[in-house]
Amino acid sequence: MSQAQILVVDDEPDIRQLVQEILEDEGYSVRTAQDGENARLLYAQQKPDLVLLDIWMPDIDGISLLKEWSAAGKLESQVVIMSGHGTLETAVEATRLGAFDFIQKPLSLAKLLATVSKALDARPQVEAAGSTARQTLQVEPLGTSPAMQLLRNKARQAASHNSPVMITGEPGSGRRTLARYIHQLSAANGDMVTYDHSQAGVESSLSYLFGSVSNGQTVAGLLDQASDGSVFIPDLPKLATDAQELLNSTIESGSFTPAGSGSQKPLACRIICSAPEDLERVVKDGQVLSSLYFRLNVLPLKIPPLRERPEDIPELVRYFSDWFPNQENLPYRQFSVSVQNRMRNHRWPGNVRELRNLIQRMLVLGGNGEVSMQEIEDALSHSAASMGSTGSGREALFDLPLREAREQFEREYLIYQLKKAGGSVGKLSESVGMERTHL
């Protein structure tokens, strides 16, 4: 996939390096400039898709630089202003000159990545007519621990080839996130489409994946929809055996035949699959064809469970505690170092998904201000109980009498929806489809 080109202009070397590393980890191509002179040079050499522009620099301020770039008319790049001393007047002036947005320092990771994604989405499309617009990057971080850095390096190598990829890991470990990371780093221009097992029964799995022709009507399958892109098949053991057989022959021959058609089509997308950590066992049990396993396992990538990389927890906590307030209008709460250290000692049987759900729950049900040690102890105890011995995530709720379980779910659900509605009962009534009197 074509990489978005980003220019970071800031006189503080620590900020330049931090922003560059964050954006490059997400698959962007990043260049940096420490002052206005270098920014002018790099901007002239290659018009970037996006400029992250600091206000205060030693030789020129960002607003003056923005005026230069917009003097000829419409800006050729999206511009996002960064400043730790911004005023309303500065923000208004930047917007008048064509800046897309204005973000405050210190930079919030979630806010930065969300703004970058929105700015790139909003830029005028310059691709040829009929081409597929570039997707924005998956913003959820993978982690920066040594284990995840090694995995990211392997993922980059995998992205540089078009061979099938097999991702293994425990449930909730981030297999889908890694699949999107690979797709975004690749040279593909198409989308990544995901096989939805709930949409494909045994009878329709072939047409859902490979397409079909009936009574002169052609229905495109996922392999067609992902042309010049990627198809992600999560939980490979759930894929019907006949679909596995046809997928195996498709990868081998590089072509496939839609159901009801007599014409072959070339395979024009990458296949990315995921499976449980113990993949050899499901192959031995017959849930995955051994021939397909060997064909897919050319580039195996194994995601370590969160309990084996606790040093990634602070980064993930910062990300999710920023993401929910920005994206779902939940209250912002701080997680102190001592609270994060307690979280690092948790086993996290549900991995990153469990961590995400726990933070969301604390923002939904908790108050404002810093998260207390007692709150995190209670939340971790509830999380452990909910995971149960099998890690199903709902066993504690299932052990309650039906009436109590329903009341507990309804209470948490409505509190969550009320937060999203900004405290408005009227909006809540509309969003959940209940009368105000019932609420």
Could you state, in order of their start, the residue ranges of all structural domains in the chain? Answer: 5-122, 146-304, 309-399
What is the dotted CATH code of the domain comprising 309-399?
Answer: 1.10.8.60
Q: Give the pLDDT of residue 325.
A: 84
Residue 85 has pLDDT above 70, yes or no: no
Q: Give the pLDDT of residue 431.
A: 81
Q: Give the pLDDT of residue 290.
A: 95
Calculate the average pLDDT of the chain: 83
H helix count then E strand count, the chain:
19, 14
**Spatial distance between the Cα atoms of 366 and 105, rounded to a whole number of angstroms:** 27
Residue 315 has pLDDT above 60, yes or no: yes
Cα R_g (the chain), whole angstroms:
24
Give the pLDDT mean for 414-426. Answer: 75
CB atoms closer than 10 angstroms to residue 29: 15
Bridge partner list, 219: 212
- What the block records as the tokens of 381 is 């105890």
Q: Say whether 309-399 and 146-304 share the same fold.
A: no
Fold of 146-304: Rossmann fold (3.40.50)
Q: Pick 5-122's CATH classification: 3.20.20.70, 3.40.50.2300, 3.30.310.80, 3.30.70.20.
A: 3.40.50.2300
Q: Give the pLDDT of residue 401.
A: 55
Residue 130 has pLDDT above 50, yes or no: no
Q: Give the pLDDT of residue 110.
A: 81
Q: Give the pLDDT of residue 129.
A: 27
CB atoms closer than 10 angstroms to residue 47: 14
pTM, entire model = 0.61
Percent of the chain with pLDDT over 90: 39
Split at pLDDT 50, 70, 90, the class of 187 is confident
Residue 255 has pLDDT above 90, yes or no: yes
What are the percentages of helix, strand and coil residues in the chain, rounded to 5?
50, 15, 40
Q: Give the pLDDT of residue 131.
A: 32
Q: Give the pLDDT of residue 155.
A: 92
Report pLDDT digits (tens) over 335-390. 999 999 999 999 999 999 999 999 998 888 777 789 999 999 988 887 665 555 44
Residue 407 has pLDDT above 70, yes or no: no
Distance in angstroms between the alpha carbons of the first and the last residue of the chain:
48
Give the pLDDT mean for 151-155. Answer: 91
Question: Which range scores top for mean pLDDT: 259-263, 266-270, 326-330, 430-434?
Answer: 266-270
**Spatial distance between the Cα atoms of 87 and 20, rounded to a whole number of angstroms:** 26
